[in-house]
Amino acid sequence: MNILVTGAWREAKNYIPNIEASGHKVCFLQNEKESIPCDKNLVEGIIGNGIFLSHSIESFPNLRYIQLTSAGYDRVPIDYISAKNIKIFNARGVYDTPISEMVLTGVLCLYKKVGTFFANKNKHTWEKQRSLPEICGKNVTILGCGSIGTKCAQKFKAFGAEITGVDIRKIDDPVYDHVYFLENADEALINADIVVVTLPLTDSTKWFINKERIEIMKPGCVLVNVSRGEIVKTDDLIAALKGKLAGAVLDVFENEPLEENSPLWDMENVFITPHNSFIGEGNKKRLADLIVSNLNKEG
């Protein structure tokens, strides 16, 4: 197969010799925004991420295989891909561990007032905090029960939380104590102490978390978003963080990087990371193993 490999796979150059040794012909493109350095008519497979944001997928008439380096499908024309029967694979399972660890870290930082303790340490101030919530016994509602959401569920379950799963498909995993279809998400949100958003971004999930849904949640609920920023309506979230919600753990935002003048920066009840939750020391090997495995199956 003639494969276009892009720099979205950062370790690509270390694996290209092995890919070529298995019979594939590789064309390498470092920056996906640059011109394609080979004949598009010959490209049968692409390993990349946002390449179709700069190059029309229609310009690859013989494309039959796509491997994404991301978990999300929001950067590819999925309807065209389905219509043309192009096989597509995402990076399922690659980023579950670091993202779930960051989700748990963020919630614990808010619950255990880690920011306050660090501030007091810097001031050499000995001040006990008499109100520290526990995860044990709380209801954690996972919106989007794919591999990332389920890994988050496992982490919280280990802390003694009650887990509710919400998804577009039927959920059959014992880690979830309660399950709902996405169309019935409001019923799940009523009981949530912690809401973790790992939904894919689609037309139906854009601004899924808005003023109306936040009003359904318990007072003092914590919202976590590690999916896509556009799933949460920022203005509604900011308003809710001034009273309704106890806090938020945010790794993604409607506009990235987050604007310097965003009120979120100065809110003590918000834990912010710069779209960084997917970073982990095991990612390189997990991604390479996945790419090579999928390529061998299709080769």
User: The CATH number of the domain where 135 resides is what?
Assistant: 3.40.50.720
The list of the chain residues with pLDDT below 50 reads none
pLDDT for 297: 87
Same domain, 36 and 154: no
Which pLDDT value is given to residue 126?
A: 98
Q: Which of 258, 208, 205 is nearest to 236 (CA)?
A: 208
The answer to whether residues 19 and 167 belong to one domain is no
Domain count, the chain: 2
Same domain for 153 and 289? no
Task: Copy the structure tokens of residue 188.
Answer: 């799940």
- How far is 205 from 201, CA to CA, in rounded Å? 6
pLDDT at 289: 96
- pLDDT tens, position by position, 189-246: 999 999 999 999 999 999 999 999 999 999 999 999 999 999 999 999 999 999 999 9
Q: Give the model's pLDDT for residue 299.
A: 63
pTM: 0.93
Q: Residue 77 belongs to what domain range?
A: 2-94+281-298
For residues 177 and 223, what is the distance between their CA atoms, to the nearest angstrom?
Answer: 20
Say if CB 159 and CB 135 are below 8 A apart: yes
